[in-house]
Amino acid sequence: MDNNKKTSKKQVIENYLLSEIGNGHFKIGDQIPSELELAKMFNFGRQTVHSALSDLALMGIIERTPGKGSFVSRHPVNRNIQKKKSFTEDMQSIGMTAGSRLLEFKIIKAIEAPEVAKEMKVEPEENLYFLVRLRTGNGTPIALQYTYIPVKFIEHFDLSMLDKSLDSYTESLGYNINDFYTRLRAVEGTDEQIQILQSTSRAILNSISIRYIDSATPFQYTSSFYRSDLYEYTFSSFN
């Protein structure tokens, strides 16, 4: 085998488009350059460009619509629910950059969220941090996350850290959160949720996840609402 073999013209085009999609220059649903534009850009023949785009379409990276052009596919993020994995890690696994926008942050009494208080094993008058974040992948809205954390665990919450992974922030505080419990359900999104998520469907996936410091100490409760057209969960008996 010749390890010094040069990259083919077709592969050059594929690598370029994969890179542009991976770095967020072309986002989900965006139209990519036409065959003619790519041919002029690289000074390659139209057939070479056509073959490269056909390969990307077969891989599910792009969708080709006759008379309209080629668009970045709305392929779903696939998560194995049996593994502890953050939203940021989910995005990284498919070559996308995770983003976060804080929509609301306040301190509430546990009695204001009785179901959460029960699952978190806290007293009604105990204080909880409540935060709402919009999570994105390459700028595309993917999930709304409602998170509750007892104030006793974090004396001074650094809001600047919420632009990144919340898991990374809690780990930086010295917490080793390995145990978790998750349950799923399909729900109809509210008008506000559908608008914020820019969802094409009113059906959205609700994941409730509780993270534990140890088996008896819940640390964080998060209710996430995912766009059903961009997110899917899998279960497997294999490790």
Same domain, 173 and 97: yes
Same domain, 68 and 83: no
Same domain, 15 and 38: yes
Q: For residue 67, what pLDDT is reported?
A: 86
Full residue range of the structural domain in which residue 174 is found? 77-234
DSSP 13-78: HHHHHHHHHHTTSS-TTPBPPPHHHHHHHHT--HHHHHHHHHHHHHTTSEEEETTTEEEE--PPEE
Same domain, 23 and 98: no
Same domain, 30 and 133: no
Residue 102 maps to a domain? yes
CATH number at residue 162: 3.40.1410.10
Q: For residue 37, what pLDDT is reported?
A: 95
Same domain, 68 and 81: no
Same domain, 157 and 91: yes
Q: For residue 161, what pLDDT is reported?
A: 83
DSSP state of 123: -
Same domain, 60 and 90: no
Domain boundary among 38, 57, 72: 72
Residue 186 maps to a domain? yes
Structure tokens at 239: 């490790």
Same domain, 65 and 129: no
Gap between the Cα atoms of 143 and 137, Å rounded: 9
Structure tokens at 10: 């077709």
226 and 196 Cβ atoms separated by less than 8 Å: no
Q: For residue 3, what pLDDT is reported?
A: 42
Residue 4 maps to a domain? no
3 and 42 Cβ atoms separated by less than 8 Å: no
Residue 94 maps to a domain? yes
CATH number at residue 45: 1.10.10.10
Residue 239 maps to a domain? no
By the 10 Å C-beta count (0-12 exposed, 13-18 middle, 19+ buried), 174 is classed as: exposed
Q: For residue 128, what pLDDT is reported?
A: 97
Same domain, 226 and 112: yes
Within 13 A of 61's CA, how many CA atoms are on the CB side? 20
CA-CA-CA-CA dihedral for 23, 18, 197, 211, to nearest 10: -70
Same domain, 128 and 65: no
Sign of CA dihedral 145, 181, 184, 28: positive
- Please give the chain's pLDDT, 239 residues, in tens: 344 445 688 889 988 998 888 777 888 788 999 999 999 999 999 999 999 998 888 767 788 888 889 998 765 555 555 555 667 766 666 666 788 899 999 999 999 999 999 999 999 999 999 999 998 887 888 899 999 999 999 989 998 887 777 888 888 899 888 788 888 888 899 999 999 998 877 888 898 999 999 878 999 999 999 887 766 655 555 54
Q: Which residues, at least 6 apart from 182, have a Cβ–Cβ distance to it below 8 Å?
A: 81, 207, 208, 209, 210
The total of structural domains in the chain comes to: 2
Q: For residue 62, what pLDDT is reported?
A: 86
Strand partners, 106: 130
Same domain, 66 and 101: no
Gap between the Cα atoms of 224 and 148, Å rounded: 12
